[in-house]
Structure 1
Amino acid sequence: MEIYQLRTFVTVAQQGHLTQAAELLHLSQPAVTAQIKALEEEFGVALFERYPGGVQLTEAGKLILPDAQQILAQARSLLYRAKALQNEPKGKVRIGTIGVPGRLKLGPWLAQLRESYPLLTVQTTHGISVGVLNEVRKKMLDAGFYLGRNPYQNVNTVPLSEIGFCVALPPTMAHLQDADWKTLGSALWLGLSQFTSLADISQELWRSQNIAPKLVGEFDEEATLLELIKSGVGIAILAERTAHRYAADGSIVLWRNGEVATRALLQFIYSSDREKDPMIDMLIKALRTTWQEESACLIQ
């Protein structure tokens, strides 16, 4: 059974005449007759009764006609959809992500991209801020997320939000929760890998408070820092929402009841060479739509 055979069947049923149907279909009458005969053989039932003035549907033909019309409608819909996709943006983009996906609104953003550009394929690579920044700068990634100050002129940024950071203490250091900076500076802090933006953020904080803490180890993930704080290894800064979530169950203690000690800008980054790239423009438009919608939901 072919689509063109069903189209012929429906046309003959509507016209009630083989010759008129052939004219509409731009076929010869023998070709129309052959297609109807092929369908009847495949279905195993007669579809039309012939009489001197034309043809009319048999009872079996009447039952089959609605299904045939539905199939043709679906085929037309499929064709229109395929033609519409001819002009849809297509391709694969590589995005560097950092930290917690929820903080980036990654799910809503990718859903927005999928809805707006169905032929666009996104590949995410999770890393740490400085690593993502360098890979975007070297064009190993098309774009990504970065937390902190961007030192490169050849990397463009789209500001998304400002993230507050709190000083998180182990429960064993709860006596320091109201301490001044000089006292905090004499306590043990968790060291941070140079490849994470938290290292720069922490160092800027220490410089601003004129302290130089003794560091324990070198770590590169917020989840690792959290576990080490819980275990009493040392102090570190954590993103405000994360800090308050874990302080609520008593697994960590927050300095000055969770006062924000410093802030850093969360940004979307891409190579400045691609400023006019339609693909980057699509990513940014969907990103802005997502962040605006999420903010509106929070306000409501």
Structure 2
Amino acid sequence: MELYQLKTFIEVAQTGNLTEAAVKLHTSQPAASAHLKALESEVGFPLFYRTPKGMSLTEKGAKLLEESQKIIASIEGFRQIASDLRQDPVQSFRIGLNTDGELLRVSELVELMAERLPRVELHFLETKSEHFVADIQNNTISAGFYYGNQGSTSIHAIKLRTFRMAVVYPNTWNPPDEEAALDYFAGKPWVWTTQGCPFYKQSIDYFANRKVNPRKILYVDDEFLIGDLVQKEIGCSLLAEPIALRLAKENKVSMWSGLDLAIDLYFGFPKDKMADPIRQQIGNIIEGMWR
């Protein structure tokens, strides 16, 4: 049993999709499939149900998932302890970024950190909101930004801002006035977020309550890729208003802000690490920035 097999197992369990997991693991789909088959051969039973819609854990697979995560977390913990034992006076701190660094005010954070915590070396990692809790538990990141209330009692969450959602659409489209705009966009093709994204359920519920059923043709989990697809007239989509405004100012898309729909931005880290002075100070810096 190899660590890369366990990492593939965990990633497929989180994404429910072999191809998406392979991309995140920076490997090929056949290689990821081979990792799973080898692991299933070793344990002696299937770990997933394979369907046209994706992959879901079997009952036995679900029981092994938690153990796999513990193993990976233990390895990461070992590496962290080994790093600490090198007696390097500079402490590394990994922050997950779920969206654009400009929106998250990363340059301001770096300046404040250099001033107040000069012996802390920041590492910024691109992460997804839907994977935030798992990334924290696996020790992939020390703390991070994420959209939507993750509902985890193990996370100390600092709410930073509530962003309105906006519809972004190609500049060539000509939507009607406010009252008829929603029906107009409902009849257009949509680039939708992936199922794990915090935008997903809120958006589905919002449109369902208004008896509107957007025609979804693509599922994408990257805000700026969505912007590129809209600019190429593939369809319209939903984005947090600051991102939509920036793309509109660059004349890449047009935007409509007539939705009563919003998403919350948080910064969080493990509750069991709240006594850690580094996390305390970084949390205070970020909370002060956004207050």
Give the TM-score, by structure 2 length. 0.62
Q: CA deviation at 1:149?
A: 2.2
Structure 2 alignment gaps of length 5 or more: 1-88
Correspondence for 2:118: 118
Secondary structure class of the residue paired with 1:210: coil
Maintained 8 Å contact 2:190/2:237: yes
With over 3 angstroms needed to count, the CA separation of the structure-2 counterparts of 1:253 and 1:177, relative to structure 1, is: farther
- Looking at structure 2, the residues matched to 177 and 125 of structure 1 have their Cα atoms a distance apart, in angstroms, of 42
Correspondence for 1:262: 261
Correspondence for 2:45: none
Q: CA deviation at 1:161?
A: 0.9
Correspondence for 2:222: 221
Q: CA deviation at 1:180?
A: 4.3
- Looking at structure 2, the residues matched to 141 and 123 of structure 1 have their Cα atoms a distance apart, in angstroms, of 9
- Looking at structure 2, the residues matched to 108 and 188 of structure 1 have their Cα atoms a distance apart, in angstroms, of 38
Maintained 8 Å contact 2:175/2:184: no
Maintained 8 Å contact 1:174/1:253: no
Q: CA deviation at 1:172?
A: 3.7
Correspondence for 2:61: none
- Looking at structure 2, the residues matched to 117 and 94 of structure 1 have their Cα atoms a distance apart, in angstroms, of 14
1:99 aligns with 2:74: no
Maintained 8 Å contact 2:192/2:238: no
**Which amino acid in the other structure matches residue 186 of structure 1?**
G
Correspondence for 1:16: none
Correspondence for 2:282: 283
- Looking at structure 1, the residues matched to 193 and 229 of structure 2 have their Cα atoms a distance apart, in angstroms, of 12
**Which amino acid in the other structure matches residue 245 of structure 2?**
H
Larger radius of gyration: 1
Aligned-residue sequence identity (percent) comes to 19
With over 3 angstroms needed to count, the CA separation of the structure-2 counterparts of 1:245 and 1:96, relative to structure 1, is: closer
- Looking at structure 2, the residues matched to 141 and 158 of structure 1 have their Cα atoms a distance apart, in angstroms, of 16
Secondary structure class of the residue paired with 2:140: coil
Q: CA deviation at 1:135?
A: 0.5
Maintained 8 Å contact 2:95/2:125: yes
Q: CA deviation at 1:290?
A: 2.6
Q: CA deviation at 1:229?
A: 0.9
User: Mapping of 1:219-258 within 5 angstroms?
Assistant: 219-248=220-249, 250-255=251-256, 258=257
Q: CA deviation at 1:100?
A: 1.0
Correspondence for 2:186: 185
Secondary structure class of the residue paired with 1:146: strand
Correspondence for 2:208: 207
Give the TM-score, by structure 1 length. 0.61
Secondary structure class of the residue paired with 1:289: helix
- Structure having the larger proportion of residues in helix: 1
User: Mapping of 1:51-90 within 5 angstroms?
Assistant: none
**Which amino acid in the other structure matches residue 289 of structure 2?**
T
Maintained 8 Å contact 1:93/1:123: yes
- Looking at structure 2, the residues matched to 152 and 251 of structure 1 have their Cα atoms a distance apart, in angstroms, of 37
Maintained 8 Å contact 1:176/1:184: no
Secondary structure class of the residue paired with 1:241: helix
Correspondence for 1:154: 154
- Looking at structure 2, the residues matched to 116 and 239 of structure 1 have their Cα atoms a distance apart, in angstroms, of 31
With over 3 angstroms needed to count, the CA separation of the structure-2 counterparts of 1:176 and 1:274, relative to structure 1, is: farther
- Looking at structure 2, the residues matched to 201 and 173 of structure 1 have their Cα atoms a distance apart, in angstroms, of 25
Maintained 8 Å contact 1:177/1:253: no
Maintained 8 Å contact 2:130/2:198: yes
- Looking at structure 2, the residues matched to 108 and 131 of structure 1 have their Cα atoms a distance apart, in angstroms, of 25
**Which amino acid in the other structure matches residue 194 of structure 1?**
Q
**Which amino acid in the other structure matches residue 121 of structure 1?**
E
Structure 1 alignment gaps of length 5 or more: 1-88, 293-300
- Looking at structure 2, the residues matched to 106 and 161 of structure 1 have their Cα atoms a distance apart, in angstroms, of 15
Q: CA deviation at 1:190?
A: 0.7
**Which amino acid in the other structure matches residue 147 of structure 2?**
L
With over 3 angstroms needed to count, the CA separation of the structure-2 counterparts of 1:249 and 1:109, relative to structure 1, is: closer
Q: Which digits, 9 at most, give the CA deviation of each residue in 1:59-108, with x for residues without a partner?
A: xxxxxxxxxxxxxxxxxxxxxxxxxxxxxx95221110121111111111
Q: Which digits, 9 at most, give the CA deviation of each residue in 1:21-66, with x for residues without a partner?
A: xxxxxxxxxxxxxxxxxxxxxxxxxxxxxxxxxxxxxxxxxxxxxx
**Which amino acid in the other structure matches residue 102 of structure 1?**
E
Secondary structure class of the residue paired with 1:171: coil
Aligned length: 202
